[in-house]
Amino acid sequence: MPAVLSVSAPPLRLHVDRDGVVRAAAQVPSPNFDARPTGERVSLLVIHNISLPPGQFGGPWIVELFTNLLDATAHPYFASLSDLRVSAHFLIRREGTLAQFVPCGLRAWHAGESIWRRRSNCNDFSIGVELEGTDELPYEDIQYRTLARLTRALRRRYPLRDIAGHEDIAPKRKTDPGPAFDWVRFRKLIAGPGS
């Protein structure tokens, strides 16, 4: 777990191997995954945000949630999460560090009830990236840079057709990454040199 809290950002160019692992990311295996349906191809990147407790950054809580180790008594809010079994493929902390919980070839449990382009169950065909943040607070420059590097690496490995927010695939349930996420800035970064 200390590698997740490290202050060093990943290298400028990331690589996704055949198993869907980014070796430059801190590897923190989550039990919350299963196989993608046979023949399913990854075509969607979903951007989320998370902070635990809500609005607070740092600490072990996100990692503990994704690895089923969250102590429900550590904070009053955590009791509402005690039965959740969730994960994402990646987490980008406020300081730009990158952690991977599930290889991209497997199905992480990040989208929940969802639909994109008339296809339901987005977990089947998507990769989920969590940004440590909230809907209202600006994300850090280094988070955008790490997300752009990761997106370019994922595009080199997978035929990503679309990038959406959690709010786009589950609009009645979710609001993240929220109005604080600068889509124009992000799209410029992924279209720039090194794409």
In sequence order, the 6+-apart residues with CB closer than 8 A to the CB of 67 are 28, 29, 30, 31, 101
**What pLDDT shows up at residue 7?**
46
Residue 58's nearest CA partner among 110, 103, 12, 1 is: 1
pLDDT tens digits along 178-191 = 999 999 999 999 99
Cα-to-chain-centroid distance, residue 172: 20
When pLDDT is averaged across residues 103-117 and rounded to a whole number, the result is 97
3-class state of residue 92 by DSSP = strand
Is the distance from CB of 24 to CB of 150 less than 8 angstroms? no
Supply the pLDDT for residue 13. 85
Structural domain of 52: 2-32+39-191
* Total count of domains within the chain: 1
Q: Measuring CA to CA, how many Å separate 150 from each of 16, 27, 55, 185?
A: 9, 15, 25, 15
**% of the chain beyond a pLDDT of 70:** 92
The residues annotated as belonging to the active site are: 130
Residue 162: which CATH number?
3.40.80.10
47-63 pLDDT, tens digit each: 999 999 999 999 999 99
Does residue 4 register a pLDDT over 70?
no
> Model confidence over 155-180: pLDDT tens digits?
999 999 999 999 999 999 999 999 99
